[in-house]
């Protein structure tokens, strides 16, 4: 089924809205938001600041019905699904709130439903979360498709992999999600002058990324929302291991710098990292919005049948109990890439503290992780450069 699936100017109801990443991207593609729903105080402060004319409902558990809109979005909490979270699963206290979406859809008829969450839900509990979403959507009469995408395809230097799921009763979501495939670029697309990693990790992983930062996230291995770190090999001693600013993080997610400043009205600066880490990359939502208004024409012969016991692949579609995998890349498009050191404000990069560097280096040394020898040397030098001086 091809053709225009939603009008060029379409309406949106944004559930679990966070700081409005999905909505901001969809607006760039012609969308207009009619309702936002968000419970967390700092996030509500941002939404009120950036979407002042949009009604804001405070809790999906008390939302009685959805307004008539073309698109309903639900970037529901990843707390119980992500590797940095509790991994309690789709029925955990936070992630389990997605059940309210399906309750609301029983009495609503949007043209499209858009769901977003972390890659880990494809494998956590043998894919139980994905099975639950599919069962609920099919029970309501929807056909569905999902695709794992990497935010770097939009041009931002953040290696962020997220599942985008689209469902409709009237149209074919495969024409939205699978009509574009630019393929993953070669390594020569990325410079070797900066590497991102997570200083809060070091036991089982680093989140290592060349010419990019690893996934911005709301939590960490130390249980705190925090910035990643950047190793700049050619920087002077004491300036080679640094952290970006929150404004850098906002831009790494496709937001204008300063987007979350309003959160300071209701709390300390720390929550801004969680707000940005939990958001949807704006460029991903803009690509999606363009395809919602102008779907392509996906060849269904490209699909590979899946059995109910198969693992969830990186992309698939289905309806009425049948499933097909799609061998597409995580890069629907390849926008002009902004190199990491060209995006961050280098004058505002902060050297990672002695305590943070020493703790990370110690964890790394005790682990079995393999890293570049030059990186280990840089860490040792930074520890010495940042060591408090004693009289």
Residues with catalytic roles: 78
**For strand 315-319 and strand 304-306, is the pairing parallel, antiparallel, or unpaired?**
unpaired
CA 165 to chain CA mean position, Å: 13
C-alpha 353: how far from its chain's center?
A: 28
Beta bridge partners of 166: 114, 145
How far apart are the C-alpha atoms of 114 and 21, rounded to whole Å? 13
**Contact yes or no for 208/230 (Cβ under 8 A):** no
Other beta carbons less than 10 A from residue 284's beta carbon: 25
Alpha carbon dihedral 72, 77, 81, 83, in 10-degree steps, equals: 130
- Alpha carbons within 13 angstroms on the beta-carbon side of residue 295 total 22
d(CA 130, CA 127): 5
281: helix, strand or coil: coil
DSSP string, 178-197: SS----PPPGGGS-SS-EEE
CB 284 within 8 A of CB 215: no
CA 59 from chain center: how many Å? 22
Closest to 218 measured CA to CA, from 152, 265, 279, 157: 279
CB 277 within 8 A of CB 218: yes
Return the bridge partners of 13, or none.
35, 72
């Amino acid at each position: 089924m091809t053709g225009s699936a939603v009008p060029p100017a379409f309406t949106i109801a944004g559930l679990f809205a966070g700081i409005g990443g999905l909505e901001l991207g969809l607006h760039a593609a012609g969308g207009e938001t009619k309702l936002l729903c968000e419970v967390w105080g700092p996030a509500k402060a941002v939404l009120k600041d950036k979407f002042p004319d949009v009604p804001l409902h405070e809790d999906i558990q008390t939302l009685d019905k959805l307004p008539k809109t073309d698109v309903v979005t639900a970037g529901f909490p990843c707390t119980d699904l992500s590797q940095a979270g509790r991994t309690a699963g789709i029925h955990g206290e936070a992630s389990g709130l997605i059940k309210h979406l399906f309750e609301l859809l029983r009495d609503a008829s949007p043209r499209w439903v858009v769901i977003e969450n972390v890659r880990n839900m494809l494998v956590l509990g043998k894919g139980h979360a994905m099975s639950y979403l599919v069962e609920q959507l099919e029970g309501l009469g929807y056909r569905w498709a999902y695709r794992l995408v990497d935010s770097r395809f939009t041009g931002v230097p953040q290696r962020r992999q997220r599942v985008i799921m689209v469902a409709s009763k009237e149209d074919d979501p495969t024409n939205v999600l699978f009509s574009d495939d630019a393929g993953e670029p070669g390594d020569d697309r990325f410079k070797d002058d900066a590497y991102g990693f997570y200083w809060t990790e070091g036991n089982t992983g680093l989140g290592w990324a060349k010419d990019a930062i690893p996934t911005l996230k709301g939590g960490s291995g130390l249980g705190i929302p925090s910035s990643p770190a950047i190793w700049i090999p050619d920087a002077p001693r004491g300036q080679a291991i640094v952290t970006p600013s929150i404004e850098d993080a906002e831009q790494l997610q496709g937001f204008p710098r300063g987007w979350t400043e309003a959160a300071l009205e209701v709390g300390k600066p720390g929550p801004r990292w969680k707000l940005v880490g939990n958001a949807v990359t704006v460029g991903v939502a803009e690509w999606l919005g363009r395809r919602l208004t102008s779907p392509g024409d996906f060849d269904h012969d490209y699909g590979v049948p899946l059995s109910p016991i198969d693992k969830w692949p990186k992309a698939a579609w289905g309806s009425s109990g049948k499933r097909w995998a799609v061998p597409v890349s995580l890069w629907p498009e390849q926008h002009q890439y902004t190199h990491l050191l060209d995006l961050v404000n280098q004058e505002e990069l902060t050297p990672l503290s002695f305590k943070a560097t020493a703790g990370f280096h110690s964890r790394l040394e005790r682990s079995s992780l393999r890293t570049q020898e030059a990186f280990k040397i840089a860490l040792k030098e930074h520890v010495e450069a940042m060591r408090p001086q004693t009289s």
